[in-house]
Chain A
Amino acid sequence: MTKTTRTDLARKGSRVTRRAFTAGAGATALLAGTAPFSIIQAQGAALKVGVLLPRSGAQAGIGQDCQRGVQVAASILKDLGLPNLQIMNADTETNVEVARSQAEKLINEGAQLLVGAFDSGQSTAIAQVAEQKGIPYVINIAAAPPITEQGYKFVFRNFPVAGTILADAFANQKEIFAATGSAPKSVAFLHVNDTFGTAMKNGIGAVMPKFDMPYKIAETISYDPTARDLSVEVAKAKATGADALLVVSRLNDAILLTRELIKQRWSPMAILSMGPGWYEDQYLKTLGKLSDGPLSFVPWYDPNKKLSRQLEAAVAKAFPGINVNTNHVYTFEALLVAADAYKRAGSTNPTALADAIRKTDIKDNVSTGPGIRFNEKGQNDKLKNSAIQNRGGKLVTVAPKAASNAKVEWPMKPYDKRA
């Protein structure tokens, strides 16, 4: 009988060596430690959502206002029984190229869905990245029509396009003119010359003739959204002798325009805004009583909906003194779409998520209209707009009548008659 040594046995692999045992035990411990965690992760892990907003630069005020919609979302989504979202914030710096690179960075860092980015130019850049990388992208606010006309499979927008905003705006204006029995005969049209402003300007040319409006556009004046002085623009508008101002602006320029109107002693019959700026909290706070009067014809929310009241309560609790506005509503709804789709998809797989978003049918929502559904282009084409008016630091809805909570003050009180 041959004597077999321990070394021989080890060489033949028939026995476990001390080294092999230690390695095996380590591996087992690692597996034992991580396996339950993996199972939990698969069942209840948060969806990683990259939120791109202009948090600095010319649109910083509005971008940070959109962020409020993000901050109140978690508690509401939890109440609705929807899964958690892990928010990954990014700043587009109000710059298209930065928006593009930040979208790529977020995806590289593991973002499973993108939301943003308030501005049409920035959203267009992000949409290209999302489509290229195959990551679902839900646009919160951006109205330029081409974004959802490219045949993209991963891009969705729960916000009306410029044509819809304009059509509803003209309809609501006519309702107000009929209710008050008075209307301007001519308007001076001031607009920013960025992607949104230019799309709106082109849209007005196409849509306005269909509505047989009582006024004519005396002059169209475009300006840079980063302009620091709008005295020439207002002087030019005033010189037209128009009864009212029609504006498509942003926040900072809305404040500048108001200052110039007062300095140049011009109180038009009405300021009819078809964009952001005039109803923002920063506008109301900066100008105080001088902020009263402008009418904004914008995508808004239905104050009678259950979820609207929930959002109002959440915003009031988190940000006392801040009025719920378009920025909060549509940013919140973009996250609502994401959470709802994740719940139904049951997976973070981008294609499954995109398919789930495509089948979205949320009736219990906030925005004006029948709810959130996307057409074959990824566009929610059933949204409706409202007419709102600044009054005493608050915002009241004056049209359409079915969704209004106040009567319009018409014409606007002259600036020199205010205390």
Chain B
Amino acid sequence: MPAEIYLNVAVSGILTGLVYGLMALGLSVIFGVIRIVNFAHGEMMTIGMYIAIAIFSAFKLDPLVMMVPIAAVLFVFGYALQASLINPFINRPEHSQFILLVAVALVMVNGLLILFGPDAKNVQTTYAFDSFLIGPLIVDATKVYAGGAAVLVSAALFAFFRFSHLGQAIRACADNYVGALVVGLDVRRLYALTFGIGAACVGAAGAMLVLIIDVTPALGPAYTLLAFIIVITGGLGSMPGALLGGILIGFTEAMAGLLFSPSAKSMFAFGLLVLVLLFRPQGIMGKRAI
């Protein structure tokens, strides 16, 4: 097999992994602060994808251009969901939270099925079939754009949590819940904001991913599972860990498909997860809180 094929596949896997990472970042942010596992994460991403498709069908607006408005819509949706439905469950047993979010996921899947039908949908941008030829490398243009956008959004998110007062307040809630209450922070509002930010992340990831894959309402659960694999590999609650986990999973899937069998891609992703759980149960960057 020519050597450049390995490089082609590795680059493709890393670019896809960056978008996976952004999607998982939302899950990690939500868990890191609110300590709730969002079982509707993949479904929220499909909502973002369908919004991108609807806007593209109606106004021919590129999903990458619409990424910020789509993230804003998902932010409002996430904020409302946390404030109205999830906040009352914050102090309830974990299984109640689990059932609540699984129910929310089911409602989302069936709502999308009613609205958009079961057919796979996609957007056909002018650059949908483009690729860059860099020496012996052929790189998919959509993946380059989507991967680049994922890096920018992740950088903005890191900056927000590190440098803004609001971001620091959210980190304070994550580090010390009682302390945050004592200093007078409105924790419930901050929780709603955090869930909104997590939802915005996954909405932005959806707008990017719709350039790479076709969407169906049934896509959600598979990506919820993928997000779990990524954040557990990278370290639950760790933002850099989520991004690293995404890149690792994207790369592992691509190389496993090339070196072994494409049918075994998922098997290797799960294999990596098992190895991490065995030798570093907290995840690769586990201890670091946001």
Contact = CB atoms under 8 A, between A and B. Distances in A.
B213 interface: yes
B254 interface: yes
B96 interface: no
Contacts of A61: 119-120
Interface stretch (B162-170, B177-185, B241-249, B256-264): B256-264
Contact of B262 (A226, A227, A262, A263): A227
A252 B133 CA distance: 27
B282 to A, nearest CB: 30
Interface in B1-59: 1-2, 5, 8-9, 12-13, 16
Given A60-B118, A226-B222, A265-B131, 4 more contacts: A227-B262, A228-B213, A263-B141, A264-B138
A232 B263 contact: no
A55 interface: yes
B129 interface: yes
Contacts of A256: 214
A232 B258 contact: yes
A229 B15 CA distance: 12
A56 interface: yes
Contacts of A223: 262-263
B130 A232 contact: no
B262 A232 contact: yes
Contacts of A263: 129-131, 138, 140-141
A56 to B, nearest CB: 4
Contacts of B265: 224, 227, 232
Contact of B258 (A56, A227, A236): A236
27 contacts: A56-B218, A60-B117, A61-B120, A64-B118, A64-B119, A223-B262, A224-B265, A226-B222, A231-B9, A232-B9, A232-B265, A235-B5, A235-B258, A236-B1, A236-B5, A238-B5, A239-B1, A239-B5, A252-B120, A252-B214, A259-B128, A259-B129, A263-B130, A264-B131, A264-B138, A286-B122, A286-B124
A55 B131 contact: no
Contacts of B118: 55-57, 60, 64
A193 interface: yes
A310 B141 CA distance: 47
A405 interface: no
Nearest to A416: B129
A56 B109 CA distance: 12
Interface bracket on A: 35 or more
A229 B131 contact: no
Nearest to A221: B262
B76 interface: no
A232 B129 contact: no
A265 B138 contact: yes
Contacts of B253: 232
Contacts of A286: 122, 124
B81 interface: no
A349 interface: no
A57 B218 CA distance: 7
Contacts of B213: 228-229
Interface of B: 1-2, 5, 8-9, 12-13, 16, 113, 117-120, 122, 124, 128-131, 133, 138, 140-141, 212-214, 216, 218-219, 222, 253-254, 257-258, 261-263, 265-266
Interface string A213-246: 0000000011110111111110110110000000
Nearest to A91: B118
Contact of B261 (A222, A255, A262): A222
A274 B137 CA distance: 32
A256 B215 CA distance: 12
A391 to B, nearest CB: 20
Which 4 A-B residue pairs are closest in the complex by CB-CB distance? Answer: A232-B257, A56-B118, A60-B118, A228-B213
B65 to A, nearest CB: 21
Q: Which of A57, A235, A262, A282 gathers the greatest number of chain B CB atoms within 10 Å?
A: A235
A354 to B, nearest CB: 33
Interface in A256-277: 256, 259, 262-265
Nearest to A63: B118
Interface string A331-367: 0000000000000000000000000000000000000
Nearest to B120: A252
Contacts of A58: 216, 218
A222 B263 contact: yes
A407 to B, nearest CB: 29
Interface string A55-92: 11110110010000000000000000000000000000
Contacts of B214: 228, 252, 255-256
A264 B16 CA distance: 16
A46 to B, nearest CB: 28
B212 A229 contact: yes
Given A55-B118, A235-B8, A229 B258 contact: no
A222 B131 CA distance: 25
Nearest to B133: A265
Q: Which of A228, A282, A286 gathers the greatest number of chain B CB atoms within 10 Å?
A: A228
A193 B261 CA distance: 11
A238 to B, nearest CB: 8
A256 B214 CA distance: 9
B115 to A, nearest CB: 14
Contacts of B254: 231-232
B64 to A, nearest CB: 17
Nearest to A226: B222
